[in-house]
Structure 1
Amino acid sequence: MEAKENCKSSAAYPMNSGDGPYSYAKTSTFQKTVIHFTKELVQKEVVEKLDIGFSSTASPPTIFSIADLGCSVGPNTFSAVESIIEAVELKLQSQGLTSKIPEFQVLFNDHASNDFNMLFKSLPSNRRYYAAGVPGSFYGRLFPEASLHFIHSSFALHWLSRVPKAVTDKSSPAWNKGRVYYSNSRDEVIEAYKAQYQKDMEDFLQARAKEVVCGGFMVFIIMGIANGIHPSEAGGIVSEETVDSFNIPIYMTTPHEFETAVKRNGCFSVERMEVLPHEKVNGVANNDHQIITYPMRSALTGLIKQEIGEEIVDELFDLYLKKVEEVYLSSILDSGKSLSFLVVLKRKASH
């Protein structure tokens, strides 16, 4: 049965919950700014191209289902969802179908270890949708066939389903000795990460192709690197040479690599792919080093606690802050080598 695919094994490292200084809710300012910046771009695509019964000769669905994949604990997921609902309403209004605005159902997805209690406690009181949580890895099936009209995911697809096995195998040429990430590593390590990313994206797109209705949309905001940039040029995340067994399951794709994965899958058309300009989406001072290090701590603390231990966290990120102050990471952003990009996909007719 298809439901068995929901049991797909995947590593889970949730973002920091709560409302402390290192929580995702307090450190995701950059993500919030990008989501806000892309609002008009996404609405334009929806109004012009979303066509699942949105015409004077067809009836729109009475229930419009939206899924946010990798929702974390808020509040950014709520902003994204509200923007999508506004876009759908604008689409209907543009077609003279205001009386046919559907009820909205929003399905918040993340790993089972995500703090769904905090997520639902902070749901907007004035929300215009019915909310439900769907735990599980988005690299497998999560929803019934042809049940979703819109999928959103921001700053989640750089997480791999697992650390590539070869980089932790001492007998493998891809063993990532002395490093925790693939940037500045040997080509064998980089290729192992790339192969894991390709496999994960194949699984992701196959699952979504079954879940999204024909004509439905998927919108992603993806952290990546520019086309033609070697991973060693884009900077690393953490450096701890004494921890040979620790590797970060993150892969920074290029727009070209992502588009190649979509074309290989064949079930979606690329309606829009646009690199987002740093100067318009940062919204924060690049030279504020805590704005760089706090989000990293929010994202990686769970992974570090699980793989190394809680006692190293404070010392590690104190050292990381000092390193950031030396390197001045905004120079990497300003170089145009690292980037965020928006992707809008549309489900093709059954295929």
Structure 2
Amino acid sequence: MRINEFLHMNKGDGELSYVQNSFDQNGVWLMNQHLIESTIQYLISKDKGLIKGLNVADLGCGVGHVPLALVSLITEIMQRKFKELRLDSEPSCFLMGVPGSYYDVLFPRNSLHFVHSNFTLHWLSKTPWLLDNQGMSINKGNIHIVETSPKPVVEAYWAQFEPDFSQFLKCRSKEVVTNGFMLLTLTGSPCSTDSLIWTPCVTKILNEALICLISEGLIKEEKLDSFEFPMYLASTKQLEIIVQKEGSFAVEHSETTELDVAPEIEDKLQRPKILTKVFRAYSESILPHHFGEEIITVIYDKFTHYAFQHLVQDKTFEHYAVTVVLEQNCKGVAVFLDFEA
């Protein structure tokens, strides 16, 4: 089954909603604003006609503060440009929602000047196939890649992510104009380690929680063995390899940002609760689909317990965001933007 048939972020604005628990997404968005502004300014400087119409797409869940913050930022940039050019009128802003998967074509050909995606593309279109010829799991006891994963597990995740990301690039190459840009931010992995087997803390903690519930007789072992968390945490190097291989875009800029969850809070009882809310906000549509609605509260309570154990051992909630700025290829002509300002 394709993940987009059931995956969604927690709705509304309540205590467990994505809106209230998307700290990383908001933080990285703020850090990336200078990249967006530099890119938009460059586009306008190369084509003054874009003052009359700049088409921007934000591809993601559409929930949280970032989509409207992007609209506000680009509107501000255009307003400043209007004043700089001493135009009498004010820029108008028109919004529309486009339902569908970003692994399909969503917009008319050559219609977009800038595409933005924030914490979306690490989700796989479907879970990797991890069964042997006898129908047994080759990742037994684990829900994701771990340091001890056999090579076929690592290869299966990569074999799902690479064509997914390539398909995304192919679709966007039809929609983005020549010399148009994309800024993509994903949950990822550091380049300084073996990113193929790097394991995020949340899947480690969830794995421990599920194994504990098996020992308590609340979940069957087969349920764990048949579950894989449907995301891949690529490094910037891996993204660059896929972009170069696919060929529609060129990498203009890439960076990796180390993140933590509520590091300012010293209370080791409070921080695990915050991590659980953050994790629950984006995973609660996934776990009930496999384990059932009746066990979900118990799973997240156990997750909080093991998150506390994680902190007691002086471990952090370390994770990473990777960002790439891509330019639609234009017959090998290189463009160099100043992203350090």
TM over 0.5: yes
The equivalent of 1:235 in structure 2 is 200
CA distance in 1: counterparts of 2:144 and 2:63, whole angstroms? 26
How many residue pairs get aligned? The number is 309
CA distance in 2: counterparts of 1:54 and 1:179, whole angstroms? 52
CA-CA distance at 1:182 after TM superposition: 2.0
Residue 68 of structure 1 contacts residue 152 of structure 1 at CA under 8 Å; is this kept in 2?
A: yes
Select 1:300's aligned residue among 256, 269, 283. 283
Higher strand share: 1
CA distance in 2: counterparts of 1:348 and 1:29, whole angstroms? 34
* TM-score with structure 1 setting the length: 0.78
CA-CA distance at 1:258 after TM superposition: 0.6
Decide whether aligned partners of structure 1 residues 84 and 342 sit closer, same or farther in structure 2, where only a CA change above 3 A counts: farther
Decide whether aligned partners of structure 1 residues 173 and 307 sit closer, same or farther in structure 2, where only a CA change above 3 A counts: closer
CA distance in 1: counterparts of 2:20 and 2:314, whole angstroms? 20
TM superposition outliers: structure 1 runs of 4+ over 6 Å: none
Select 1:244's aligned residue among 220, 225, 232. 225
Decide whether aligned partners of structure 1 residues 85 and 244 sit closer, same or farther in structure 2, where only a CA change above 3 A counts: same
Decide whether aligned partners of structure 1 residues 340 and 206 sit closer, same or farther in structure 2, where only a CA change above 3 A counts: same
Select 1:79's aligned residue among 35, 60, 69. 69
CA distance in 2: counterparts of 1:99 and 1:262, whole angstroms? 42
CA-CA distance at 1:246 after TM superposition: 1.5
Tell me, yes or no, if structure 1 residue 345 matches structure 2 residue 326.
yes
Tell me, yes or no, if structure 1 residue 203 matches structure 2 residue 163.
no
CA-CA distance at 1:180 after TM superposition: 1.6
- Please state whether the residue corresponding to 2:55 is helix, strand or coil: strand
What value does the CA root-mean-square deviation take over the aligned residues?
A: 2.9
Q: Deviations over 1:21-56 (max 9, x none)?
A: 111111112211221122123212332x3258534x
Tell me, yes or no, if structure 1 residue 142 matches structure 2 residue 106.
yes
Amino acid at match of 1:234: T
Select 2:124's aligned residue among 160, 170, 176. 160
- Please state whether the residue corresponding to 2:171 is helix, strand or coil: helix
- Please state whether the residue corresponding to 2:95 is helix, strand or coil: strand
Matches within 5 A, 1:72-111: 72-90=62-80, 96=85, 98=87, 103=92
Residue 30 of structure 1 contacts residue 282 of structure 1 at CA under 8 Å; is this kept in 2?
A: no
Select 2:144's aligned residue among 174, 181, 184. 181
Query: Please, which runs of 5 or more residues in structure 1 have no aligned partner?
Result: 1-7, 104-128
Residue 269 of structure 1 contacts residue 346 of structure 1 at CA under 8 Å; is this kept in 2?
A: yes
- Please state whether the residue corresponding to 2:255 is helix, strand or coil: strand
- Indicate the larger mover: 310-319 or 184-193: 184-193
Decide whether aligned partners of structure 1 residues 216 and 90 sit closer, same or farther in structure 2, where only a CA change above 3 A counts: farther
CA-CA distance at 1:102 after TM superposition: 5.5
Amino acid at match of 1:83: L
Decide whether aligned partners of structure 1 residues 260 and 79 sit closer, same or farther in structure 2, where only a CA change above 3 A counts: same
Query: Please, which runs of 5 or more residues in structure 2 have no aligned partner?
Result: 212-220, 333-341
Select 1:270's aligned residue among 227, 247, 251. 251
CA-CA distance at 1:86 after TM superposition: 2.9
Q: Deviations over 1:156-193 (max 9, x none)?
A: 111010101x2156636873222221224322111100
CA-CA distance at 1:229 after TM superposition: 2.4
Q: Deviations over 1:6-32 (max 9, x none)?
A: xx9854400111222111111112211
CA distance in 2: counterparts of 1:232 and 1:53, whole angstroms? 42
Tell me, yes or no, if structure 1 residue 193 matches structure 2 residue 157.
yes
Amino acid at match of 1:37: M
Residue 154 of structure 2 contacts residue 197 of structure 2 at CA under 8 Å; is this kept in 1?
A: no
CA-CA distance at 1:68 after TM superposition: 1.0
Decide whether aligned partners of structure 1 residues 172 and 225 sit closer, same or farther in structure 2, where only a CA change above 3 A counts: farther
CA distance in 1: counterparts of 2:294 and 2:133, whole angstroms? 26
Residue 34 of structure 1 contacts residue 282 of structure 1 at CA under 8 Å; is this kept in 2?
A: no
Select 1:255's aligned residue among 226, 236, 240. 236
Identity %: 30
- Please state whether the residue corresponding to 1:135 is helix, strand or coil: coil
Residue 60 of structure 2 contacts residue 118 of structure 2 at CA under 8 Å; is this kept in 1?
A: yes
Which structure carries more relative contact order (alpha carbon 8 Å, separation 6+)? 2
* TM-score with structure 2 setting the length: 0.80
Residue 125 of structure 2 contacts residue 164 of structure 2 at CA under 8 Å; is this kept in 1?
A: yes
Matches within 5 A, 1:7-86: 10-47=4-41, 49-51=42-44, 54-55=47-48, 59-60=49-50, 62-86=52-76
Residue 58 of structure 2 contacts residue 117 of structure 2 at CA under 8 Å; is this kept in 1?
A: yes
Residue 52 of structure 1 contacts residue 216 of structure 1 at CA under 8 Å; is this kept in 2?
A: no
Residue 145 of structure 2 contacts residue 199 of structure 2 at CA under 8 Å; is this kept in 1?
A: no
CA distance in 2: counterparts of 1:142 and 1:307, whole angstroms? 29
